[in-house]
């Protein structure tokens, strides 16, 4: 299971513990419900950090969480907790349901299409090397996205490729194809023009596009 998903489950259990600590406390205006401050503050920080990592720093989920933790007049920490819990639950549901990944994939797909179109345009104008470099960058970015989905650390392209194949995200044959694509990109980046041809780069662009459609759509 994805580490973020596991963490959502853990913090959901912690939220129930925080809820269990609620008790009435006296005040000059009567009494109010409060939860254990230390447990609540710890959960709030962990939850906010997780939402930021799993949903994104610019996500609506993080914005809603930040707004909900703002103190209002006569708020107790339990009042704040009651506002935060449904936001956390929504983030958990959307993440575990794959809805966030779908949105990110759509946005990323548009970016990849644009970059690969640029690579194709460079190739058509005779800039074989630059076209290979651009296509290689798109591939590496796609591998990083796959690593994020599988909670695999980023590294060099060959390291990510090996880790993804080992985890069964794709086959050993696909791993070899990616290695071949990476070789063309590396040769282009180092100016070794004789190591590849225009047709190699044309096929490379098609392979990258096909790979991204299969893995990220």
Q: In this predicted model, what pLDDT tens digit does every residue of 112-148 receive, in sequence order? A: 567 888 888 888 888 898 888 888 888 988 898 889 8
Same structural domain for residues 177 and 91?
Answer: no
pLDDT digits (tens, 9 = 90+) for 52-99: 888 878 778 888 999 999 888 888 999 999 999 999 998 888 888 776
Domain count, the chain: 2
Residue 98, phi then psi, degrees to nearest 5: 80, 5
User: How high is the pLDDT of residue 106?
Assistant: 45
Same structural domain for residues 12 and 90?
Answer: yes
pLDDT digits (tens, 9 = 90+) for 3-52: 888 899 999 999 999 999 999 998 887 889 999 999 999 999 999 999 98
Which CATH number characterizes residue 204's domain?
1.20.120
Chain mean position to CA 134: 22
Same structural domain for residues 105 and 92?
Answer: no
- Residue bearing the bigger pLDDT, 2 or 215: 215
* Pair of tokens at residue 14: 């912690």
Same structural domain for residues 90 and 105?
Answer: no
> In sequence order, which residues have a C-beta less than 8 Å from that of residue 176 and are 6 or more positions away?
none
Last residue in a domain, options 96, 121, 142: 96
**Local confidence band at 200 (pLDDT 50, 70, 90 cut-offs):** very high
State the residue range of the domain holding 58.
Answer: 3-96
Same structural domain for residues 168 and 103?
Answer: yes
| Stated pTM of the model | 0.52
User: How high is the pLDDT of residue 101?
Assistant: 59
Same structural domain for residues 123 and 184?
Answer: yes
**Mean of pLDDT over the chain:** 87
- The C-alpha atoms of residue 186 and residue 107 are separated, in whole angstroms, by 27
In the predicted model, is pLDDT for residue 1 greater than 70? no
């Amino acid at each position: 299971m994805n580490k973020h998903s596991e963490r959502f489950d853990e913090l959901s259990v912690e939220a129930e513990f925080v809820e269990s600590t609620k008790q009435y406390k006296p005040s000059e205006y009567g009494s109010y419900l409060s939860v254990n401050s230390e447990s609540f503050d710890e959960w709030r920080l962990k939850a906010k950090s997780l939402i930021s990592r799993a949903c994104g720093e610019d996500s609506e989920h993080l914005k809603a969480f930040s707004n909900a933790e703002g103190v209002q007049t006569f708020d107790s920490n339990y009042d704040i907790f009651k506002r935060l819990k449904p936001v956390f639950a929504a983030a958990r549901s959307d993440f575990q349901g794959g809805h966030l990944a779908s949105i990110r994939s759509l946005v990323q797909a548009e970016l990849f299409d644009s970059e690969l179109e640029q690579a194709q345009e460079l190739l058509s104008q005779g800039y074989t090397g630059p076209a290979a470099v651009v296509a290689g960058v798109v591939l590496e970015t796609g591998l990083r996205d796959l690593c994020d989905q599988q909670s695999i650390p980023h590294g060099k392209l060959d390291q990510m490729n090996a880790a993804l194949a080992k985890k069964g995200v794709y086959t050993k044959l696909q791993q070899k194809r990616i290695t071949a694509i990476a070789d063309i990109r590396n040769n282009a980046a180092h100016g070794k023009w004789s190591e590849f041809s225009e047709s190699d780069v044309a096929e490379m662009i098609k392979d990258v596009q096909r790979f991204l459609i299969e893995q990220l759509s």
